[in-house]
Structure 1
Amino acid sequence: MIRVLLPRQRPSWQLVTPGVLLLCAFAVPAAMLLTGQGEPAFNAVDTTWQAYSFTLHSPFWDSVNAILNWAGYAGILAFHVVLAIALLVWQRPMAAVFAATSGITALALTQLAKAAVGRDRPQGARVLTDTGSYPSGHVSATTAFLVVLVILIGRWWMKLLAAIGVIAMMVSRTYLSAHWLSDVLGGACLAAGVVLLLWWRFRDICIKENAEADGKTIWAARALQRRQAAERAE
Structure 2
Amino acid sequence: MTRRIALWTGVAAIAIAVVVGSLIVLHPGLIVSLDEAWNVEMGEWRSPPLVAFALVMNFLGGGWFAVVVVPLGVALLGLLRGWRASVSVLVVFLASVVAVQLVKHLLGRARPVDLLIASDFGSYPSGHTANAAALAVALWFLFPRIATVIGGALWVIAMGFSRTVLSVHWFSDTVGGALVGGGTALVVAAVLWRWVGPAPIPEGDGGAPPGGTTRASAR
TM (norm. structure 2) is 0.84
Of residues 15, 30, 41, the one that matches 1:52 is: 41
C-alpha deviations, 1:93-144, integer Å up to 9, x for none?
1111110001001001111211111000001111111111010011111111
Matched, 1:169 2:159: yes
What letter matches 1:108 in structure 2? V
Tell me the secondary structure at the aligned position of residue 17 of structure 1. Answer: helix
Residues of 2 paired with 1:53 and 1:12: CA distance?
Answer: 39
* Count of residue pairs brought into register by the alignment: 199
Shift of 1:91: 6.3
Alignment of 1:1-234 (within 5 A): 10-34=1-25, 36=26, 39-74=28-63, 75-77=65-67, 78-88=69-79, 90=80, 92-207=82-197
RMSD between aligned residues: 1.9
Residues of 2 paired with 1:118 and 1:185: CA distance?
Answer: 17
- Structure 1 unpaired stretches of 5+: 1-9, 215-234
C-alpha deviations, 1:28-86, integer Å up to 9, x for none?
0222234x16x342111111111111111111111111101101113322111122234
Bigger Rg, structure 1 or 2: 1
What letter matches 1:188 in structure 2? A
Contact 1:73 1:142 in 2 (8 A): no
Contact 1:76 1:145 in 2 (8 A): no
Q: Following TM superposition, where does structure 1 have runs of at least 4 consecutive aligned residues deviating by more than 4 angstroms?
A: none
- Structure 2 unpaired stretches of 5+: 203-219
Residues of 1 paired with 2:81 and 2:33: CA distance?
Answer: 50
